[in-house]
Structure 1
Amino acid sequence: MSNAAEHPLVRAHLAAVERCTASLPPERRRELLADLREHVQVALAEHDGPVDDDAVRHVLDELGSPRRIADAALAEEGRTCPEPESGLRTATTLTLLALAAPLLLVPVLGPYLAPAAAATGAVRLARSPQWSGREKKHAALLLLGTLPLTPLAAFAVSVVGALDQTGMLLALAIGFCPALLAVLRLARSAGRLRSATAPA
């Protein structure tokens, strides 16, 4: 194979290492992945016989699992591999964050339920070990983006047409988009971490 690093098994292995080492400095992570690619290419070039899936698996097994590689690289930097939370715990955190804005529509209790859901979700997000500080910061900015976007959307709707019940729902839906994006990004990241740290 002209470029062993492009083999699907190698790509999957390196992608898992990349996900597990998300907390490394970007330059260090790029260096690690480049070293691993080079190692795989050299090992396969020296391999006797055809470079098939079995040969690639053998080289990757000798290289070590993505989790083992990540743990060693993180230990050098005084860091640890993030631990995924259970699916239920992740879903609870994301549900609280996602429902904070829509709960404002609940008659009478909405003004109390929405801040409680937002605060509880934010605390759970901040304490979670499965998301990096960078991911938490981006999610927080997107979640806070709901606050200015909703009144701006309401103003835009009022300029275009009447700000009746339908217009208010439209403004709230537009304002909810950053929160939805934050939740989707966090869910995707948690899913990638679970797959990267799952036993082979």
Structure 2
Amino acid sequence: MDNISIARLLDETASLLEIDSADPFRIRSYRRAAEAVEQQTTQLSTLADDPKALLAIPGIGKGMAANIVFLLTTGTMPLREELLQKYKPTMLDLLRLPGMGPKTVALVWSACQVCDIDGLEAAAKAGHLTKLPAWAKSSSPSCSRESKTTAKTPAASASTRPSNTPTPSSISSEPSPASTRSSPQAPSAAAARP
């Protein structure tokens, strides 16, 4: 298993933990480890027999080193498997949709028990999503058939997903103050009045 695959699995585990409302420090440790693994030039599979070498990587502690060794030997982690059983593997597909981060997926899961793209599309068509707090029609992520083909690929979403991905609760339908300001070259109508 290469570093990118390990980083992807660690990042997905962090996202599943976030959906599960786990301890923020635990979530952050998985995200940090995913970033550290992805940035390594040495393949971790060559370091699996040397725990000290794994611990020398910034962002990898004893527990995470044990998780990585287990991941390298078995191809999975017990925590990840437990979370996938609870939330279904298709939940990861929702995370790849534009505008759908762990918090939005958790909101949709808790309100509608939606765990896949088809379920999200059905909930949107039935109008269930517009009833969710802070969910505006204009900001709902596209869950049509076209979005399935434009969804982020697993490699692109692994650890390259910015932590500030917009969610429906963070998107406002009102224009930002910067976009409503007039430029110095074009004075506003209020300023032109005597």
TM-score range, shorter chain: 0.3 to 0.5
Higher helix share: 1
Larger radius of gyration between Structure 1 and Structure 2 = 1
TM-score (normalised: structure 2): 0.33
TM-score (normalised: structure 1): 0.33
